[in-house]
Structure 1
Amino acid sequence: MKNKTVNSTKSVEFYINEYMPPDCRCNMEDKIKNKVKGVISVAINPNTDSMNVVFEPTQTNEEEIISFMKKCGYECSISEKEDHKKMEHGAHKGMKHKEHENHHAMMMKEFRRKTLISLIFTIPVLLLSPTIQKWFSFEIPYFGFNTLLLVVFSSIIAIYGASPFYRGAIRSLKSGILDMNVLVSLAVGSGYLYSLGTTFLFSASDFYWEISTLVLFLLFGHWMEMRAVIGASGALNELVKLIPPKANLVKGKDIVKVETSEVQVGNTLLIRPGEKVPIDGNVIEGETSINESMITGESKPVSKKVGDEVIGGTINESGSIKIKVEKVGEDTALAQIINLVKNAQASKPKSQKLADKAAHYLTLTAIIVGALTFTYWYGFTAIGAVFALTLTITVFVIACPHALGLAIPMVTSISTTLAAKNGMLIKDMKAMEIAKNLDYVVFDKTGTLTKGEFGVSDIVVLSDWKEDDILRKAAALEINSEHVIARGIIAKTKEKEIKLQRVDKFQGIPGKGAKGIVEQEEVYIGNEALMKFLNLDTVKSKNKLEKLSSQGKTVVYVATKKEIKGLISLSDIIREESYDTVKSLRNLGVKVAMLTGDNKITAQYVANELGLDTYFAEVFPGDKSSKIKGLQEQGYKVAMVGDGVNDAPALIQADVGIAIGAGTDVAVESAEIVLVKNDPRDISHLIKLSKGTMNKMKQNLVWATGYNTLAIPIAAGILYPYGITIQPEYAALIMAASSIIVVINAFMLKNIKLD
């Protein structure tokens, strides 16, 4: 159970211990909201058989909800709180009950078993059927009990084989819902009872072989469909399995293997090369490189040293390290990611709501069309009851809205898990639906488009020293300073792997700069006032200085006592990834804007450098949301990209709020989408995934609705004058194939190229 109380409401996750057809989900959600007092919202995830309910604790409780579900024919359960505290046991214990975890697999085994048993009995039914014998010109000797065998074998198939559909129909009718199970039960039941009537009550052709093959193909179709569904939800299970079941606990001088579920905050763990990190913590001994790709999507191993954070589920690639456990249970990054993905899968984009309504009305349509079909062919033609009943059964079977029920959830399941594997956490599928139609992406400048740190952007040579000479000697003077300019120069020197030199006779010059002996030469670094104090000519450098200053950069001089050797300019460095980001977004037809508190000169330089469509400078944190609102008032769909803390009002105002660089703190309340990495290129990846996701949803909806639009009239016999009709067993195959097609099409989303 995931329990969360917000203000006066409570959110609880229930596990449904019975198979619920995808087309039944919408009706069941509405039923709970309307019948259980105090329930605010219900979201059923058909891929995980889980149900999240938000309710008023003063008006209802978990027991009442479970009781209502039981009346509707569905057993529900809530996992123990303690299980969630043991999330790190591979999230194996915490995420679901053991029986629930294997529920889809159990259903698949049941359908497989019943398919094989039905196949065994269908063969003699076909051989004993007079119609089949006539078609294929053979004859089974009459033993005196041929008809009895036909009835017995058909009964086994119709009663035992079709039992999952009867159980489902009873649950649906208890809930006051008409779904696929009701249609199948009507089709099989009417055909079977009619056949019994022809055997014992009146003389007419029977339906035994048709009903037997119909049940066989229905079972086979559901078996194949369940396999596909398990595959679609398997990616989320792969996230769950990232946590190793055992950990190396340090006890004094001993290393003890313990269950990961037993690890507590404050414990010390040893992680050897090649082992998985069992749980979130901080490095307290050793250095290593860790592969975090499975959590953040970052392909390169990340160096870790004492004080750095490590994430449970990642892989230690090189050195041995010891970590102090900082988070357990649902506080761990992986647990939060899994919960976000599950919640996203249960959330409904508009297309899902449309599909749910269509599935509901399709069931009603099938029953009405089936009744009209029988009435017309039996009452207004001379063809007879057998033909009329055949077509009616075909209508019931072929119109099952299973494909519609699966069309959107399968795509959602694949999309959200694919996004999570690439470090993009979708909290609400509505945001993904909007992302494909974005007109503007607005970035907060500092730390997103820029590095958020003062660094060297330009080195200008004005004499005989080369760039590296200027940087090396400037760094020697700045090595002991804590000033932001000094830190930037030192960082650039280390980045270029230039050896830091010793400085002698160092002396700070207040308000101007500093001097010292570097490599046996007196070197000065400072501002223009220092150059004038030294009586050095600044005319030659004036144009260069003005150009750099006009870009909002801070410029320092590097000189000797005789002449100025060069200029070093510093600024908030534009990230290399930002250039690719803007180019990619504009290729996607999305305009790019920037918000910053910097002055207009600095903002204009960054905007021109990156080729932004517009920018907003000198914006106070509290005014950011008004800038987003201004774009929206012009009719634009706007996404805001920020850190999720300082930018919270703007993220909430935007059509899509995107928190970037969240790292392990993925529970950003103000954003609908959370990017684990601080890489702006993920924004274009997100939009590409959104476009791909929505395309797959549209394709599935077009297929599912188009299939039914064409299939129902044909099943009802509209093409009979041209010699075209559909037998019930073929209708079962077509119905199953339509469901499998939407699942396979959803799987194709995995082939999308995000880079």
Structure 2
Amino acid sequence: MANELVELNVTGMHCNNCAISVHKLLEKKGLQNVLVNFASEEVKFSTNEQVTVPEVIAAIEGLGYHVIEDATNHHEKFYQKVDNKLIFCAIFTAPLLLHMVLPWHWLHHSTIQLAFCIPVFIVGCLHFGKSAINSLRGGVPNMDVLIMIGSTAAFVYSLVGTIQNLGENYLFYETCATIITLVLLGNLFEKRSVTQTTSAVKDLVKFQQVDARRVIDGEVEVIHATDVKSGDILLINTGDKIPVDGDIIDGDASVDESMLTGESLPVDKKKYDSVIGGTILQSGSIRIVATKVGSHSVLAQIIDLMKRAQAAKPPIQKLGDKVAGIFVPVVILISLLTFGITYYAVGTSMQTALMNAIAVLVISCPCAMGLATPTAVMVGLGRAAKGGVLIKGGDTIEAVANTKYVVFDKTGTLTTGKFKLQDINVLDETPIEKIRGVITAIEERSNHPIAKSLVEQLKPLAKEKVILKTVSEEKGLGMRAMDSDGNNYFLGASKDKIDTAFNLSLYKNQQPVARIAINDDIKPGAANLISELKKLGIKPVLLSGDKTDRCQTVAQALGIEKVHAEKLPDEKLSIIDVYKQKGKTIMIGDGINDAPALTKADVGVSMNDASQIAIQSARVILLNTDLNSLLFFMRVSKHTLITIKQNLFWAFAYNVVAIPLAACGFMSPMLGAFTMAFSDVVVIGNSLRLKVKNLR
């Protein structure tokens, strides 16, 4: 049970303050790897020996939130829905407001007003009260504390006036009811808006919720995608969503992979090609063998990455969190000072002093500060994902700001990686068929673009099959292997400085047996990318393990002035460190030898067809092959950061202006409740603009 990762679905968290309460609670219990996302209603943590999951669930529910089994099948009860609570409260609040304009004297009667107010006050206590009390227990008082103090003060003051028959100057039932009703309206808008910010993840989850046709002994049975097991044979026809990752064993097809790569053009697939769960079969009929199912599938891993990215806090959020954490006690103190100064020092009436104090409570909005960063990050990450860019952490967005250098690997990054075999120069008596067989057998075990291209071109020509006992890849050097006869081979970068046409050398038992000449083309869009980076004041750098002359050729064609060639992984690491000291550095690469440098850079960017190690090391993955998606990622990051700053400015400015106005009596509690409710909506609305904003 130790160190098991637990994921819970928790409802009832309406803003980042709620998430902070849950986060602090779990940390106090000594749990590790805590991630709390109020928008997706998810809580993750690693268990320890001292605390059981039922204990954690009980503690979370003790804070006033609800832990549910399955979020997809969860349906709120009628009386739990915010919109139903709002309608109920609005029905009783309307007469209390209308009594101020209608001539019906019975509406002015204190007991009638009390009767209309009590149902609304009870709903308010049930909706806000439990959360307020438990947030105080947890040491992170939330907005509900302010709402409850304000509405309760108005209700109790009015109740005392009714019991003692002190007259209509002591009746503020409409203030109590209107505060609760308007804040419920704000909660409804907030809930619907926040749901939109997480739509990117929810759209991806929908791709998983499909049926599959499993073939057993020639019979076809329909099962849910979650019931597919690795090794199952599945039949997929035109128009179907591919249920899981797999390899085609029969048929040809055209597959729409836009949900993964953002590219609209379908991809042709044939026998032995891989397909990804969630993509759509546009035409054709295929049978596949399931290879990756459940949490191991590409789609499941992307969803998990996005959820974790949304929960990762950028440094700019820490300011908002700190202020939100101390905000409620400060506002309560300002409210008490407002009452004391207005009543005792200025000498106004008890009613005026109380209304000013209540207005201070209900106009204040810590939620706007709590929502400012996470909502913008969620929308930004979703916009990037739909454009074929997977960002692993919300903090990555801020790391891109003020980038000074973008360091490129050459092979497979700036060049196509589709290498053309020019020539094989045999250096001893070994038959060419044997050479082809050895090269093919060795390179089949590598993910490097050169290896893939050599296998594709040599496999049909390799007549003599070579059986290898062991194969290992050495970062930045090449491949070592031993065949069934005990011969040792090394295939790697050529050490020949005289004839640079030959890129690779094959050694057998430490003796050179062949040299291989290959070349590749520059990627379409690479020149445009370098040009755009220069316009942004960013310096492009080429860092490669390839020969100097070939690196210089590519650099000159693209306009890159700084070139570091023939570098091993540890040397790449040192060079990245030098650039980091000069300014923010992005590294983009795709091979195993790039992995350390990708980790070392401020932001590591990997291509989708890169080695698994490179993808794991990078913080950003470009899911399509278009290099200009790097520019798209940088634009999304820039505009997300702008949106965060706009949101934080509004949240701070709103409170800085509104609280003094309320304290001085220029805003009534009802107007305060109305503006407070909509301050959240303004922040969320500004974040949602990112979905459609022109990023150029």
Q: For this structure pair, what is the TM-score category when the shorter chain's length is used for normalisation?
A: 0.7 to 0.9
Matches within 5 A, 1:211-222: 211-222=176-187
Match of 1:32 in 2: 26
Q: 2:81 aligns with which of 102, 110, 135?
A: 110
* 3-state SS in 2 of match to 1:274: coil
The question of 1:733 aligning with 2:652 is answered: no
Q: 1:149 aligns with which of 102, 112, 118?
A: 112
Amino acid at match of 2:161: T
Distance 2:649 2:236 in 1: 51
Amino acid at match of 1:15: N
Give a deviation string over 1:530-559, Cα, whole Å, max 9, x none. xxxxxxxxxxxxxxxxxxx9996679xxxx
Amino acid at match of 1:139: P
Amino acid at match of 1:254: E
Give a deviation string over 1:375-421, Cα, whole Å, max 9, x none. 11111223211111111111101112111111111111111222222
Match of 1:14 in 2: 8
Amino acid at match of 1:708: N
Q: CA deviation at 1:431?
A: 1.5
Q: CA deviation at 1:243?
A: 2.6
Is the contact made by 2:525 and 2:628 (CA closer than 8 Å) also made in structure 1?
A: yes
The question of 1:140 aligning with 2:133 is answered: no
* 3-state SS in 2 of match to 1:241: helix
* 3-state SS in 2 of match to 1:150: helix
Q: CA deviation at 1:589?
A: 2.3
Is the contact made by 1:666 and 1:676 (CA closer than 8 Å) also made in structure 2?
A: no
Q: CA deviation at 1:643?
A: 2.0
Is the contact made by 2:310 and 2:394 (CA closer than 8 Å) also made in structure 1?
A: yes
The question of 1:270 aligning with 2:235 is answered: yes
Residue-pair matches, total: 619
Is the contact made by 2:79 and 2:85 (CA closer than 8 Å) also made in structure 1?
A: no
The question of 1:742 aligning with 2:683 is answered: yes
* 3-state SS in 1 of match to 2:8: strand
Q: 2:73 aligns with which of 92, 98, 101?
A: 98
| Distance change (3 Å), C-alpha of 1:168 and 1:699 | same
Match of 2:429 in 1: none
* 3-state SS in 2 of match to 1:659: strand
Q: 1:376 aligns with which of 335, 341, 353?
A: 341
Distance 2:380 2:278 in 1: 21
Matches within 5 A, 1:222-233: 222-233=187-198
Give a deviation string over 1:554-613, Cα, whole Å, max 9, x none. 79xxxxxxxxxxxxx963221112112212222222211111122222111111111113
Q: CA deviation at 1:71?
A: 4.1
Match of 1:170 in 2: 133
Match of 1:505 in 2: none
Distance 1:447 1:480 in 2: 28
Distance 1:334 1:311 in 2: 8
Deviates more, 1:405-414 or 1:19-28: 19-28
Match of 2:156 in 1: 193
Amino acid at match of 1:685: F
Is the contact made by 2:608 and 2:615 (CA closer than 8 Å) also made in structure 1?
A: no
Distance 2:104 2:695 in 1: 62
Amino acid at match of 2:29: V
Is the contact made by 1:115 and 1:219 (CA closer than 8 Å) also made in structure 2?
A: yes
Unaligned runs of 5+ in 2: 423-431, 440-449, 458-496, 504-516
Is the contact made by 2:606 and 2:614 (CA closer than 8 Å) also made in structure 1?
A: no
Q: CA deviation at 1:665?
A: 5.6
Match of 2:284 in 1: 319
Match of 1:508 in 2: none
Match of 2:319 in 1: 354
Is the contact made by 2:607 and 2:615 (CA closer than 8 Å) also made in structure 1?
A: no
The question of 1:703 aligning with 2:650 is answered: yes
Distance 2:614 2:417 in 1: 23
Q: CA deviation at 1:284?
A: 0.8
Match of 1:604 in 2: 552
Distance 1:375 1:588 in 2: 56
Amino acid at match of 2:156: L
Unaligned runs of 5+ in 1: 80-92, 458-477, 496-548, 556-568
Match of 1:418 in 2: 383
Match of 1:45 in 2: 37
Match of 1:242 in 2: 207
Distance 1:448 1:109 in 2: 53
Distance 1:257 1:28 in 2: 41
Distance 1:283 1:58 in 2: 45
Q: 2:121 aligns with which of 154, 158, 162?
A: 158
Amino acid at match of 2:111: L
* 3-state SS in 2 of match to 1:362: helix
Amino acid at match of 1:46: F
Amino acid at match of 2:9: Y
Is the contact made by 1:436 and 1:688 (CA closer than 8 Å) also made in structure 2?
A: no
Distance 1:239 1:64 in 2: 32
Q: CA deviation at 1:248?
A: 1.5
Q: Scaled by the length of structure 2, what TM-score is found?
A: 0.83
Match of 1:541 in 2: none
Match of 1:122 in 2: 93
Q: CA deviation at 1:235?
A: 2.5
| Distance change (3 Å), C-alpha of 1:663 and 1:550 | closer
Q: CA deviation at 1:627?
A: 0.9
The question of 1:619 aligning with 2:538 is answered: no
Distance 1:316 1:422 in 2: 20
Distance 2:241 2:285 in 1: 12
Amino acid at match of 2:536: L
Q: CA deviation at 1:114?
A: 1.6
Q: CA deviation at 1:667?
A: 9.3
| Distance change (3 Å), C-alpha of 1:581 and 1:416 | same
Is the contact made by 1:280 and 1:309 (CA closer than 8 Å) also made in structure 2?
A: yes
Distance 1:663 1:280 in 2: 18
Distance 2:609 2:63 in 1: 42
Q: CA deviation at 1:192?
A: 0.4
Distance 1:108 1:584 in 2: 55
Match of 1:85 in 2: none
Q: 2:598 aligns with which of 634, 648, 651?
A: 651
Q: CA deviation at 1:641?
A: 1.2
Identity among equivalent pairs (%): 34
Is the contact made by 1:644 and 1:670 (CA closer than 8 Å) also made in structure 2?
A: no
Distance 1:329 1:211 in 2: 51
* 3-state SS in 1 of match to 2:309: helix
Q: Max radius of gyration: which structure?
A: 1
Distance 2:220 2:32 in 1: 50
Is the contact made by 1:440 and 1:591 (CA closer than 8 Å) also made in structure 2?
A: yes
Amino acid at match of 2:352: F
| Distance change (3 Å), C-alpha of 1:754 and 1:270 | farther
* 3-state SS in 2 of match to 1:322: strand
The question of 1:712 aligning with 2:659 is answered: yes
Q: CA deviation at 1:31?
A: 4.0
